[in-house]
């Protein structure tokens, strides 16, 4: 059974090897495994076969750290369940106790607060982990909606990203 994070309107379902394989090879199976409708135009923006393969490789090589990989964002509306995006991390915390997050919501569900809600839920989980002290995120310089999601969750701009046209934000764990 996958780890599930519940927020007001969403469930974040931790990806695993079975889900990663289904996403690449059989979208109908993905729908069954998630117990949610998967849109015919899946995956969400900025995700492609390379990102799906990245997570498949991660799941194969890190079976005890799946929570630091990809999560599926499921919208719960009464009895209706629909996959509306994905969110997650690019791997386990590094030597500075930092992890990097990323997220994407299907275009039909953007500008409704789902990304902000999903990021908030994932951050709550992350900062409960003893090895996580800092979360970073990168976005395109013109990615104003994504920047708003980060700012709404308390991230601050810290400078240039890992490649041209990308900027980086961070959020540090509040000691207490």
Question: What does the pLDDT read at residue 1?
Answer: 64
Give the number of domains in the chain: 1
* Ranges of the chain with pLDDT below 50: none
Cα end-to-end span (Å), the chain: 32
Question: What does the pLDDT read at residue 176?
Answer: 56
Rounded-to-integer distance, Cα 71 and Cα 68, Å: 9
Average pLDDT, the chain: 96
Give start and end residues of each alpha helix (H) in 62-173: 114-126, 144-152
pLDDT tens for each residue of 64-99:
999 999 999 999 999 999 999 999 999 999 999 999
Model confidence, pTM: 0.96
Domain containing residue 17: CATH number? 3.40.630.30
Beta bridge partners of 135: 99, 171
Domain interval for residue 151: 4-172
């Amino acid at each position: 059974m996958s780890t599930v994070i519940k927020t007001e309107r969403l469930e974040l379902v931790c990806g695993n090897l079975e889900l990663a394989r289904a996403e690449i090879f059989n979208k109908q199976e993905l729908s069954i495994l998630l117990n949610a409708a998967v849109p015919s135009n899946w995956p969400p923006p900025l995700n492609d076969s390379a990102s799906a393969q990245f997570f498949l490789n991660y799941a194969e090589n890190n079976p005890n750290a799946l929570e630091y990989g990809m999560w599926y964002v499921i919208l719960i509306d009464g009895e209706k369940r629909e996959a509306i995006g994905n969110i997650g991390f690019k791997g386990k915390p590094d030597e500075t106790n930092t992890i990097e997050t990323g997220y994407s919501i299907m275009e039909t569900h953007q500008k409704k607060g789902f990304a902000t809600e999903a990021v908030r839920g994932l951050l709550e989980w992350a900062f409960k982990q003893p090895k996580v002290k800092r979360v970073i995120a990168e976005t395109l310089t013109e990615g104003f909606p994504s920047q708003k999601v980060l700012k709404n969750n308390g991230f601050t701009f810290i400078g240039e990203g890992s490649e041209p046209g990308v900027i980086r934000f961070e959020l540090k764990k509040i000691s207490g």
